[in-house]
Amino acid sequence: MRFIIFLFIFCNPLFFYAQESDSIDYDIATFVWMDSIVITAQKSGFDIDEFIEMVQKDESFYQAFRNIRTQNYSSDNDIRMFNKKGNEIASYQSNAIQTYEDSCREMIFKDQKSTGKFYKKGNKKYKYNTAKMYDRLFFTQGKKCKKKNTNPSNPKAKKGMEKYVEELKKLIFKPGESIDVPGLKNKTAIFSKNMIQYYDYRIESKKYEGDLDCYVFTIEVKEKYKSQKKKTVIKFLETYFSKEDFQVIARSYTLAYQSAIYDFDIDMNIKLQKVNALYVPSFIAYDGWWDIPTKKPEIARFKCGFSDYN
């Protein structure tokens, strides 16, 4: 299967389908380290178990990505491909401007430039799967209009790659759920009884970018298990929740796994901003590589900055 789907599905609201998280039948709070401010907040009604459940069921992060489909905005795009020695071999940069009117969105591109063999010889088709998926997720090609009277697709009816897409998306929007993918499955259930032994959990009070008061929930593989690459998939996960409304403000991930089928190591950093009462993405950064049988390994970094929302 085309594992590159795994790298980008995290940011694609088109494939999202909300599902209920598995219930926790034990006190997760006993495994969570809290700083003094959070401990004090408990006396005023802050409930750790309810907070963990909110982390699992939160949909505000997903909704922020849906919001950009109905916005006018600009994005600065920078994709860079590398070889195994770390040398840059191809790149693409552009400024994309999306307009939204009468339930339809279109995008024009300015200042496009590329280096190396970013495209296939003789045409403008992308050479790299990373670029194909970036286009699929962040670019609007042609005029796209919202369909009326459509119902959410049933993920149980999906087969093959589409089924994997429906499962893998949970890693970004619903961290903590099991995914029905061979070899990974329950390793993503970071709150389950079988997985808690591998993680340290923390809740702290911090200011986001020195300004906004947030609760920060962090999950990290314990030091003694960091060298055992097959034990876990989510190596690090940090989420900032605004204390005002518990909206997700930012999230960072490290995802890695090594087996005969999959071999990947990915870092992602995603930031949101509030525009006219709506939360929308402001910045996305990706740095990672993947390798699977029959496909050439791809090492890529990309950044996407969003601005000029209206």
User: 96 pairs with which residues across the strands?
Assistant: 75, 109
Two tokens at 130?
């990373």
Two tokens at 294?
């029959």
Judging by beta carbons within 10 Å of its beta carbon (0-12, 13-18, 19+), is residue 8 exposed, middle or buried? buried
Asked if pLDDT for residue 32 goes beyond 70, the answer is yes
Q: Could you tell me which residue, 58 or 154, shows the higher pLDDT?
A: 58
Q: What span, in angstroms and rounded, lies between the C-alpha atoms of 135 and 122? A: 19
Q: What predicted TM-score, i.e. pTM, was given to this entire model?
A: 0.80
**Residue partners of 175: CB distance under 8 A and separation at least 6:** 55, 56, 188, 190, 219, 234, 237, 239
Q: What span, in angstroms and rounded, lies between the C-alpha atoms of 43 and 187? A: 34
If pLDDT is split at 50, 70 and 90, which confidence band does 17 have?
Answer: very low
The tens digit of pLDDT for each residue in 119-132 reads 998 788 999 988 98
Question: What SS3 state is found at 145?
Answer: strand
Q: What span, in angstroms and rounded, lies between the C-alpha atoms of 292 and 302? A: 21
pLDDT of residue 162: 55
If pLDDT is split at 50, 70 and 90, which confidence band does 169 have?
Answer: low
For residue 144, give Cα distances in angstroms to 16, 125, 243: 18, 21, 36
Q: Could you tell me which residue, 291 or 84, shows the higher pLDDT?
A: 84
Q: Could you tell me which residue, 196 or 153, shows the higher pLDDT?
A: 196
The tens digit of pLDDT for each residue in 142-151 reads 999 987 655 5
Instruction: State the average pLDDT for the chain.
Output: 81
The tens digit of pLDDT for each residue in 205-216 reads 999 998 899 999
Asked if pLDDT for residue 4 goes beyond 50, the answer is no
Is the CB of residue 184 less than 8 Å from the CB of residue 167?
Answer: no
Task: Please count the CA atoms within 13 angstroms of the CA of 203 that sit on its side-chain side.
Answer: 25
